[in-house]
């Protein structure tokens, strides 16, 4: 097919998209640990929820495990960006493992807030997704029974706290901004004295990527989100687009896209979750260019210049 015969396809590419500062830091921690210790370096859970990133690090010598029991005594191990319960570093220390904590600093901030609230005698209502590693890690910062999980506004009506006037709420960092606002409103309506976090718990990257999708949705016939099925922030981007009336699909790589899905699409939105590298965005655009005469337009809604410090033991001079 000649270029002239290819159907036209306009691409609206959301910005910001892709890697956030916490993901950049976590990946760099594994890379620097490999440089410092040599292979293998063990990583508890996927360092970030992206199969491509995990495969690249595995090729460099990282070994991914779900349980510290799989790590040989004395071996270096990295904890994922999602955070871990306090019992995990305690277990690592008891087994003599040299560990590095790649928990995103914004998740760590929620951990410290949870500790302070419990020390102050408040029961925490935690807004999040059951079973997500970040939720498991946050619950593991405080004594059992000190937090209650809610996933929807409907869950708020079922709450039966022992002391309704002594509550606080915190949230997972990768939630839907709109859904969370609805749940927070329900909490405040039912428990007027509930104490919220000093600042927004949903991280800047999650909020910015959702806002960028909202900014282009009205002009799109369909939208593709590059990210993993187990990536909370990527799944939320799909939902944001769908709620704006846009047909949206989550894909991990360009090869997953079926040509027929684009039938009738003249303007396609593209974004990527916070753990998806930019090279996967370019891979998708190159794949589309094989079948369409494409024009690209990046729509930027925010600038991100945040960077997080590395652990002192890995800081590069």
105-145 pLDDT, tens digit per residue, is 999 999 999 999 999 999 999 999 999 999 999 999 999 99
CATH number at residue 51: 3.40.50.11270
In this structure, are 69 and 89 located in the same domain?
yes
Are 87 and 97 found together in one domain? Answer: yes
Q: Is residue 293 part of a domain?
A: yes
Could you say which of 75, 104, 133 is where a domain stops?
104
Q: Which residues, 6+ apart, have CB-to-CB distance to 117 below 8 Å? A: 124, 168, 170, 195
- The percentage of the chain sitting over the pLDDT mark of 70, rounded to a whole number, equals 98
Residue-level pLDDT at 200 = 78
Per DSSP bridges, beta strands 293-300 and 41-44 are unpaired
Residue 4 has pLDDT above 70, yes or no: no
User: Per residue in 52-85, pLDDT tens?
Assistant: 999 999 999 999 999 999 999 889 999 999 999 9
Q: Which domain holds residue 174?
A: 106-190
Q: Tell me: the pLDDT tens digits for 205-223? A: 999 999 999 999 999 999 9
CATH number, position 247: 3.40.1010.20
pLDDT digits (tens, 9 = 90+) for 267-297: 999 999 999 999 999 999 999 999 999 999 9
pLDDT number for residue 316 = 63
pLDDT at 5 (0 to 100): 86
Q: How many domains does the chain have?
A: 3
User: What does the alpha-carbon distance between residue 97 and residue 120 come to, in Å, rounded to a whole number?
Assistant: 33
If you write DSSP's letter for every residue of the chain in order, what string do you get? --GGGSPEEEEEEEES-S--HHHHHHHHHHHHHHHHH-S-EEEES-SSS-HHHHHHHHHHTEEEESSGGGSPTT-EEEE-TT---THHHHHHHHTT-EEEE---HHHHHHHHHHHHHHHTTPEEEEES-TT-HHHHHHHTTS-TTSEEEE-SHHHHTT---S-TTSEEEEE-TTS-HHHHHHHHHHHHHH-TTPBPPSS-SS-HHHHHHHHHHHHHHTT-SEEEEE--TT-HHHHHHHHHHHHTT-EEEEESSGGG--GGGGTT-SEEEEEE-TTS-HHHHHHHHHHHHHHSEEEEEEEE--------PPPGGG---
Q: Could you list the active site residues?
A: 134
Say if residue 315's pLDDT is above 80.
no
Q: Are both 218 and 259 inside the same structural domain?
A: yes
Give a yes or no: residue 231 inside a domain.
yes
Is residue 233 in a domain?
A: yes
Query: Is 228 found in the same domain as 288?
Result: yes
Polymer length in residues for the chain: 317
Residue with the two structure tokens 């929807």: 152
Distances (CA, A) of 13 to 47, 86, 290: 26, 40, 18
Q: Which of 73, 104, 135 is the last residue of a domain?
A: 104
User: What pLDDT band is residue 201 in, cutting at 50, 70 and 90?
Assistant: confident
Q: Among the three residues 87, 104, 121, which one is the final residue of a domain in this structure?
A: 104
Same-domain status, 51 and 9? no
In-domain check, residue 315: no
Q: Which pTM does this prediction carry?
A: 0.94
């Amino acid at each position: 097919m000649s270029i002239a015969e290819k159907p036209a396809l306009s691409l609206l590419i959301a910005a910001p998209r892709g890697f956030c500062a916490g993901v950049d830091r976590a990946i760099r921690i594994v890379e620097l640990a490999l440089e410092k210790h040599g292979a293998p370096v063990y990583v508890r859970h996927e360092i970030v929820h992206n199969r491509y990133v995990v495969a690249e690090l595995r090729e460099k010598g990282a070994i991914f495990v779900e349980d510290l029991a799989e790590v040989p005594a004395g071996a270096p191990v990295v904890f994922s960006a999602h955070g871990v319960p306090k019992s995990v570093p305690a277990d690592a220390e008891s087994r003599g493992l040299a560990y590095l904590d790649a928990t995103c600093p914004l998740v760590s901030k929620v951990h410290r807030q949870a500790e302070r609230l419990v020390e102050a005698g408040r029961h925490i209502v935690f807004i999040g997704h059951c079973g997500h590693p970040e939720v498991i890690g946050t619950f593991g910062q405080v004594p059992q029974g000190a937090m209650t999980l809610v996933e929807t506004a409907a869950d708020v009506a079922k709450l039966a706290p022992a002391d309704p006037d002594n509550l606080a709420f915190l949230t997972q960092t990768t939630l839907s901004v709109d859904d969370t606002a609805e749940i927070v409103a329900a909490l405040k309506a039912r428990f007027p004295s509930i104490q919220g976090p000093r600042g927004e718990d949903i991280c800047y990257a999650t909020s910015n990527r959702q806002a960028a999708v909202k900014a282009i949705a009205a002009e799109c016939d369909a939208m593709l989100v590059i990210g993993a099925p187990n990536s909370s922030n990527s799944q939320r981007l799909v939902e944001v687009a769908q709620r704006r009336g846009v047909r949206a699909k989550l894909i991990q790589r360009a090869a997953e896209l079926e040509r027929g899905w684009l039938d009738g699409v003249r303007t396609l939105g593209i974004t990527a979750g916070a753990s998806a590298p930019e090279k996967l965005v370019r891979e998708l655009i190159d794949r589309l260019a094989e079948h369409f005469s494409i024009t690209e337009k990046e729509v930027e809604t925010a600038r991100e210049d945040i960077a997080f410090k590395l652990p002192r033991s890995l800081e590069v001079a």
